[in-house]
Chains A and B, each alone.
Chain A
Amino acid sequence: MSAYLDFVALLRTRGVIPEKAPPAEGADRPWFVVLLQGVAGWLAGIFLLTFIGLMFKPSSTGAIFALGALLLVGAWALYHADRDAVFLDQLALAISIAGQFAVAWGIVKDHLSGLPIAATLLGLQVLVLIAMPNQIARTLAALFATIAWVFTVRFVLRPGQGEQMFFGYGHGETPPILGAWTLPIAWALTWLPLLALGIWLVRNEAQWMSGALRKLARPLLTGVLLGLSLGGIAAEPFTVFLLGNEMVGMRFSWWALFPLLSVALAMFAAYGAFRMRSHGLLGFAIVAALLHLSRFYYLYGTTLMWKSVIMLVIGALLLLGGARLARRDAETGGAP
């Protein structure tokens, strides 16, 4: 008997479920299969959009938007048509991604500016998350919504900053709204809601699992944990990602410490993954943490000597904390 049927029998014995035949064993879709299908779907969506663009040559924003909306409706219909037909699911993912690109392009085509683009993408991804009845599509939407949220807060508090980098021209960089406090407040505004959402979803798993919310909450949790792991890159000056720019000088700056906060976010995501027993998410969070560490190395803002000192001090503190927890574990004999 499989582990699944063993477990169903155990649930019956304990009176958790009635004597009713269980549903067929669900497809075990490991993380790397989701990754493979997600990336393939994304690429197929871009090819599909290119084909449609070349075929119909829509030029006005209205036509592009209408085309995108049509594609999204088509994807939604395909998902609904036959939820067990995997080819249709994968095709629907490609169509949905093509539709999202087209809708986003239709909305922001004539308004190349950071905030409207980020806000539009956020709205679009939330819509896809709610509407598309597919786990992979929803997970991707949740991840992209997280990233779009990060950029939205960034452009609200630091208007125009980084537009030159993204679009090749800017609308003029205005001073940050909150002056010197912009950075810590932006960090808190960006990450605290996402952290709170992640904590709530992890803690209340049994509650949302028992209701219709489970269809949304599961991909949302995965997307938020992925976003917390990697999203730190988007929160900082994009120049940092490009390994240095004259915008960030060699003088000591608090900017330099931000990749370390990103490491902390990634480690929180790792803990969330551990709570969910998800090996894929755990691995992703660890890789993201190492990526943030390498960015800390390249990020100007303070000298490497200072960074070395910071890492040595943090290393010693972490080791002390780890040793203390290990001692406590040994003393209690691992008792809960």
Chain B
Amino acid sequence: MRRGYTPARMQSPLKRSELDGLAEFYSLDPQRTETMLELAGARPSRAEGLRFLGRCLRIAGVLSLAAGVVFFVAANWSKLAVFGRFALIEIVLAGCVVLAFTRPPPAVIGRAATFLAFISTGALLALFGQTYQTGADVYELFLAWALLGLPLAVAAQWSVASAAWVLVLNASLLLFCGWNPSGGLLWAIFGGVHFRPAHLIMGAAWLNLALWFGFEFRRVEAVPDWVRRLVLSCAFGFGTWGGVLGVAGGDLVFGDMKGDAKTVLALAAVMAAVVAYTLRRRSDVYPLAVVMGTFIIVSMVWLARVIEFRDEGTFLFLALWLTGTSTAAGKILTTLAPSWRAVPKP
């Protein structure tokens, strides 16, 4: 059975490069090429196309409505009193919840209503902060949204809602790690002298990684492969950032930070765990690709720091290092991908 990032009907057993290779090798004329494309299921039928279009329109419609609600709150419309603004958003939220109860997910309407309720929760929190000037950091808004919206994201049973929740959570972590604020819930736990910025960033990476492993071991339909890839990308986005700070030890962002072996070790542990799991499962090479990408970036920064740009040869060395490592990464991944494609999946 094939698995992928789109419904089975959208998948072709062969890649375009393989079909191109066959057309070239056998010097196929246009008619035979057309037959080959048809047999490969490489081109969707008209019905499939319309179905895809219908799904796109529905998802785009829901996202547009969600954007409309967010824009409305951001507009801070002066002609509407504070009470009216809250009432309006709360009516939208309540209406969505009622609709979701009437036509519960996974019905399309239920999913859309629950997703809109999730977005409205964020809009309501933003309106609260905007109206009462609570003094909260922006990351706290996103963190509160992620925590309060979690039940809705779960209830939606929809990959789009899961992805939106992941993005909200990571926006919160990014704001916390990037601005390094000295207040709020997370700071109460992780602030002070015990944690360096790189530690916080690695913490964000570990949190995402825990989510990824969680959903790898317990497969949920609402968290399909592409959402798990998103979570893993967030994990390694933070991991790369922390790793660069760990090896650079310079003034990349925080000025006086020194190199930090603990951060680098934590990153190495993350990479080792992901590689070990991926090699055991033999299902998807994407995790290996992000590990390799992280390795290439962090090792390049480390080398640049060690060599200290003493002469022009440093640039040649870095160019060759990048070329060599990316070649090796590409070779490994392109060798593994087809062999893993053939492995039957559970």
A166 in contact (CB, < 8 A): no
Q: Please pick, from A6, A8, A33, A91, the residue contacting B334 in the complex, using a CB distance under 8 A.
A: A33
B305 in contact (CB, < 8 A): no
In the complex, chain B residues whose CB is within 8 Å of the CB of A205: 37, 43
User: Secondary structure of the B side of the interface?
Assistant: helix
Cβ of B334 and Cβ of A27 under 8 Å apart?
yes
Cβ of B313 and Cβ of A47 under 8 Å apart?
no
- A70 to B36 CA separation, bound complex (whole angstroms): 42
Render A1-36 as a binary contact track against B, CB cut-off 8 A, 1 for contact: 011101110110010111010110111111011001
- A307 to B325 CA separation, bound complex (whole angstroms): 47
Shortest A101–chain B CB gap in Å is 13
Q: Say yes or no: A47-B44 contact (C-beta < 8 A), given A86-B327, A206-B34, A308-B71.
A: no
Q: Say yes or no: A274-B20 contact (C-beta < 8 A), given A51-B316, A315-B62.
A: no
In the complex, chain A residues whose CB is within 8 Å of the CB of B48: 336
Interface residues on B, range: 35 or more
B255 in contact (CB, < 8 A): no
A305 in contact (CB, < 8 A): yes
Q: Say yes or no: A311-B61 contact (C-beta < 8 A), given A29-B330, A36-B326, A206-B33.
A: no
- A312 to B93 CA separation, bound complex (whole angstroms): 15
- A334 to B9 CA separation, bound complex (whole angstroms): 12
Cβ of B72 and Cβ of A308 under 8 Å apart?
yes
- A326 to B335 CA separation, bound complex (whole angstroms): 41
Interface size on A, residues (CB 8 A): 92
A48 in contact (CB, < 8 A): yes
In the complex, chain B residues whose CB is within 8 Å of the CB of A87: 323-324, 327
Cβ of B6 and Cβ of A279 under 8 Å apart?
yes
Shortest B14–chain A CB gap in Å is 6
In the complex, chain A residues whose CB is within 8 Å of the CB of B33: 206-207, 209-210
In the complex, chain A residues whose CB is within 8 Å of the CB of B292: 36
- A25 to B13 CA separation, bound complex (whole angstroms): 13
A171 in contact (CB, < 8 A): no
Q: Please pick, from A30, A51, A283, A329, the residue contacting B315 in the complex, using a CB distance under 8 A.
A: A51
Render B281-317 as a binary contact track against A, CB cut-off 8 A, 1 for contact: 0000110011011001000000000000000110110
Render A163-194 as a binary contact track against B, CB cut-off 8 A, 1 for contact: 00000000000000000000000000000000
- A334 to B45 CA separation, bound complex (whole angstroms): 10
In the complex, chain B residues whose CB is within 8 Å of the CB of A304: 71-72, 74-76
In the complex, chain B residues whose CB is within 8 Å of the CB of A91: 323, 327
Task: Pick out which of these stretches binds chain A: B51-59, B193-201, B212-220.
Answer: B51-59
Cβ of A22 and Cβ of B13 under 8 Å apart?
no
Shortest A293–chain B CB gap in Å is 6
Cβ of A43 and Cβ of B315 under 8 Å apart?
no
- A201 to B66 CA separation, bound complex (whole angstroms): 35
- A283 to B39 CA separation, bound complex (whole angstroms): 25
Cβ of A51 and Cβ of B319 under 8 Å apart?
yes
Shortest A48–chain B CB gap in Å is 4
Cβ of A28 and Cβ of B338 under 8 Å apart?
yes
B342 in contact (CB, < 8 A): yes
Cβ of B12 and Cβ of A274 under 8 Å apart?
no
B67 in contact (CB, < 8 A): yes
Cβ of B77 and Cβ of A305 under 8 Å apart?
yes
Cβ of A277 and Cβ of B10 under 8 Å apart?
yes
Determine the residue in chain A with the shortest Cβ distance to B78. Answer: A305
Q: Say yes or no: A279-B16 contact (C-beta < 8 A), given A20-B26, A207-B30, A210-B33.
A: no
A150 in contact (CB, < 8 A): no
Render B215-231 as a binary contact track against A, CB cut-off 8 A, 1 for contact: 00000000000100000
Q: Please pick, from A297, A322, A325, the residue contacting B67 in the complex, using a CB distance under 8 A.
A: A297
Q: Say yes or no: A318-B64 contact (C-beta < 8 A), given A17-B26, A48-B316, A270-B56.
A: yes
Shortest B303–chain A CB gap in Å is 11
- A325 to B290 CA separation, bound complex (whole angstroms): 38
Cβ of B323 and Cβ of A29 under 8 Å apart?
no
Determine the residue in chain A with the shortest Cβ distance to B14. Answer: A7
- A267 to B21 CA separation, bound complex (whole angstroms): 29
Q: Say yes or no: A11-B11 contact (C-beta < 8 A), given A297-B74, A325-B53.
A: no
A196 in contact (CB, < 8 A): no
Cβ of B68 and Cβ of A309 under 8 Å apart?
yes
- 29 A-B pairs with CB atoms under 8 Å apart are A7-B13, A14-B35, A16-B28, A16-B39, A26-B18, A26-B21, A28-B334, A30-B333, A33-B337, A36-B329, A37-B327, A41-B326, A87-B327, A90-B327, A205-B37, A210-B30, A214-B20, A270-B56, A271-B49, A275-B43, A289-B60, A307-B71, A312-B69, A315-B60, A317-B61, A318-B58, A321-B57, A325-B50, A326-B58
A-binding residues in B (CB < 8 A): 4-6, 10-37, 39-40, 42-72, 74-77, 108, 112, 226, 285-286, 289-290, 292-293, 296, 312-313, 315-316, 318-320, 322-327, 329-331, 333-335, 337-338, 341-342
B-binding residues in A (CB < 8 A): 2-4, 6-8, 10-11, 14, 16-18, 20, 22-23, 25-30, 32-33, 36-37, 40-41, 43-45, 47-48, 50-51, 54-55, 86-87, 89-91, 94, 135, 205-207, 209-210, 214, 218, 267, 270-271, 274-279, 282-283, 289-290, 293, 297, 303-305, 307-312, 314-323, 325-326, 328-329, 332, 334-336
